[in-house]
Amino acid sequence: MSVIEHYRVLREELLKVIFGQEETVDFALAALFSCGHVLLEGPPGVAKTLLVRTLAATLELDCQRLQMTPDLLPTDITGASIYREDLHRFEFRKGPLFAHFVLADEINRSSARTQSALLEAMQELQVTYDGVAHPLPKPFVVFATQNPIEQEGTYPLPLAQLDRFMFKVKITYPAAAEEERVLKEHHATAGMSAPEQREVRKTAGAEQILEAREVIRATHVRDEVVSYVQRLLHATRTEDALSVGASPRAGLMLLMAAKSLARFADRDFVTPDDVKTALLPTLRHRVVLSPQAELEGATTDDVLGELMDSVEVPR
């Protein structure tokens, strides 16, 4: 199947369980097919974990869930060396991080040491233990969740860690009609273990995802669109309301996201509208508000939205 066919099949399966979050589903699939990582942020009970579990249920991949807690050690996720009496030597025993698809639930509850171990895995696609690098399987994708409301007992992710996520997707409460649909269709499965596995079927494996990544990378980007992205990046660095602007890596991630959206629309070229659609989820966690803007109650989404309106769009 082509990228657009894989996208449509996976999206259809996800929307059997996830209601009213079409945009979130699209960015989750864009990250999956681009081998990027996703941070899902929202209050408890808005289906952050359910979305990731449902996506995992549609994939023929090794999937692991990490419940991040303050007492979780780096070796609990990466693995450690154990002594083999029969071999008379130490042997590295791989941890749950050695999976194609990893859910890090409540990531901001883990300590800085554990977060840094996860950072290396996300960026370098390997785990280093006792001076030896152990490559992670391909594809390797991390979906993490965090609750922005409760701060007690949490360790906020540093900017370097946030920058490893391709998208930061905010999930809010559903609209009235969608919430009523959730109540009608899911009340019978409340309290059941993994109800999503009963409703979706597996549709894609590692080979299909890796092939889709190559197709997305080959998507054409006009020079005018590249210049447009550069002007957007530059605008974030000269904006008084931002103390930290977007980096070149942010621009690369924005272009990759736009390529994914273009393929989902059955196009082999990127348009400025693709860039605009991907801008907020790609940049909102990579820029930092100035103290004055914070005092005035501004948000990064507000500032980025104004910048997007002020930068000339190529034809």
- Cα dihedral 51/246/120/141 (nearest 10): 30
pTM for the full predicted model: 0.90
**Burial (CB count <10 Å: 0-12, 13-18, 19+), residue 220:** exposed
C-alpha distances (whole Å) from 128 to each of 62, 70, 102, 125, 136 are 21, 22, 18, 10, 10
pLDDT of residue 287: 95
Task: Give the start-end residues of each E strand in the chain.
Answer: 38-41, 59-60, 63-67, 79-84, 89-94, 101-105, 126-129, 132-135, 141-146, 167-170, 204-205, 242-244, 288-289
Strand 38-41, strand 101-105: pairing:
unpaired
226 within 8 A of 272, measured Cβ to Cβ = no
pLDDT of residue 309: 93
Q: Angle at CA 229, nearest 5°, toward 227 and 242? A: 125
- Residue 105: name the closest of 120, 113, 96 by CA: 96
Distance from C-alpha of 229 to C-alpha of 227, rounded to nearest angstrom? 5
Separation of CA 136 from chain center: 18
Distance from C-alpha of 10 to C-alpha of 156, rounded to nearest angstrom? 32
Amino acid at 161: Q
pLDDT tens-place values along the chain, 315 residues long = 788 898 999 999 998 888 888 999 999 999 999 889 999 999 888 888 888 889 988 988 888 999 999 999 999 999 988 888 887 788 889 999 999 999 999 998 998 889 888 888 998 899 988 888 899 999 999 999 998 876 776 788 888 889 999 999 999 888 898 889 888 877 766 655 565 556 788 888 889 999 999 999 999 999 999 999 999 999 999 999 999 999 999 999 999 999 999 999 999 999 999 999 999 999 999 999 999 999 999 999 999 999 999 999 998
Distance from C-alpha of 213 to C-alpha of 206, rounded to nearest angstrom? 11
CA atoms within 13 A on the CB side of 302: 10
Q: How many CB atoms lie within 10 A of CB 208?
A: 18
Q: For 188, phi and psi rounded to 5 degrees? A: -75, -20
Q: Concatenated DSSP letters for 240-281?
A: TTEEE---HHHHHHHHHHHHHHHHHTT-SB--HHHHHHHHHH
pLDDT of residue 154: 78
> Domains in the chain, ordered, with CATH?
3-189+202-212 (3.40.50.300), 219-310 (1.10.8.80)
Amino acid at 119: L
